[in-house]
Structure 1
């Protein structure tokens, strides 16, 4: 039986992915901050579904959750925050970079020796919104905070992380794989968390471009389950500016392909989280 861990599984894409993976006969661990909400969802899913406490905004919580895992075949790093005002994680990281990237970086590294198959990182078309890649100030301590740019930085980091992890797997001669995917533009709870005037713009736009969660989850499920899927392309919806449509290979920015920036991100991530990878 394949064991999956899905972060942020108590709603939106994570809930759909959990249902799909459970339907394959796999064992699914919903790794969530809202444990009570996750349990209510788990109770309504047929199959082997359990819940674990994981707050990606707190590296102590990440370590505590990792300590509960004996073995995992597939880790789906799905959880995320979008366009939130400037706030900080328990360790002082900018919230979007901290939750979307650093929390997942730490979790993956802590589980790597117990991971048997693959990692799936969830990026976004918003990776194109990062115009100032600044790993000398990733947490916006010395520059003006722009929430859209910070979100784009975190999603670009998700993509670069997976690409660098795959490169390291290959260099080490490992059969493990790292995928990076995107769901398109989907009207999940992610868009309801900004609590700012941006909601007035985002919600109508999303309604026009919307890729329903059941469709948006397809790229994540594909990367989590297809034994022959190539880990090098970016997989996601291919139509209407990659907002919806059938899943296929999608283009990415030139910055996302810069291997020197992958290495820079990796070094910064290890330093900030204190998690080093044995690769």
Structure 2
């Protein structure tokens, strides 16, 4: 069996995709590959000035829309203008940054990576006709969802643990959404993907000495951003995926290579925690998410 590449993407002519954080890195590479296959792509980004050159490089199949996942007012404004798509790709994220809070007072990593996408998906899901793909990370393995302190109000902040928590939340959300969609009889599906170890602008934002090592690792060990985008592209386009599936690189212990089904922490299968995370996310964001 040959290894799946972007060349295996079926003709996407007539299909519409919304990709959050598509101004650089994995999101930009995902948008480029989809547009090359014929799709129309919307680059939903906080920094529209950085997104415009990417859209211009792609050509007439690309448009840019303002979306700041760290500000729920921006998320709601985007959703009000949203006129539908086949696929929503929840790609945007921040990693291991110093302690900050979103416009709504959430810890920045949980607020951006999970809660912003949770609200976005809740608001636009009725207009998504095919599937939702949410980006997690192999770092979800260090995540332990603290439902009593999701926003680090009580705990001493630990940036990597906070990142792992947010990525575990992404994985749990994608899997819980899949089960709720199936239970409702919906034809829309939900998948989760992770890029393995890919060189992107996500690294180097910790404002610590770790940035030096991460940038060195990007040059020596990491695969390219286009390589890291393959699991997302596979989850978003392949007819061989399944609702609730988790996809990532299949070589070098899941750090690189062709995409396929990926292993994950057993914690992500805990239905009780997933259900409570959903409830807490609704409460924190004042958003009713009924599938």
* Smaller-chain TM-score bracket: over 0.9
Aligned partners of 1:22 and 1:47 also within 8 Å: no
Q: 1:199-210 alignment to 2 at 5 Å?
A: 199-210=211-222
Say if 2:204 is the partner of 1:195: no
Any residues of structure 2 matched to 1:123-272 within 5 Å, and which? Answer: 123-130=136-143, 132-272=144-284
Distance 1:246 1:228 in 2: 14
Measured against aligned partners, the alpha-carbon deviations of 1:55-74 in whole angstroms (never above 9, x if no partner) come to 00000000001111111110
Deviates more, 1:171-180 or 1:234-243: 234-243
Alpha-carbon displacement from aligned partner over 1:216-261 (angstroms, at most 9, x marks no partner)? 1111111111234113331110222211112111111111111111
| Matched length | 278
Q: Is there any run of 5+ residues in structure 1 with no aligned partner, and where? A: none
1:90 paired to 2:112 = no
Q: Please say if residues 204 and 214 of structure 2, whose CA atoms lie closer than 8 Å, have aligned partners that are also in contact.
A: no
Deviations 1:106-147 (A, max 9, x none): 0000001111111000000000122x4211100000011100
Instruction: Extract structure 1 runs of 4+ deviating beyond 4 A.
Output: none
Distance in 2 of aligned mates of 1:156 and 1:208:
27
TM-score using structure 1 length: 0.97
- SS across alignment from 2:58: coil
Gaps of at least 5 residues in structure 2 are 1-13
Equivalent position to 1:29, from 42, 63, 79: 42
Q: Which residue of 1 aligns with 2:120?
A: 107
Is residue 23–residue 47 contact of structure 1 (8 Å, CA) maintained in 2?
no
State the distance in 2 between where 1:70 and 1:179 align. Answer: 22
Alignment of 1:6-85 (within 5 A): 6-85=19-98
TM-score normalized with structure 2 length: 0.93
**C-alpha RMSD of matched pairs (Å):** 1.2
Per-residue CA shift, 1:178-198, capped at 9, x if unaligned? 000001111100002222222
Deviates more, 1:97-106 or 1:228-237: 228-237
Give distance in 1, aligned partners of 2:16 and 2:170. 22
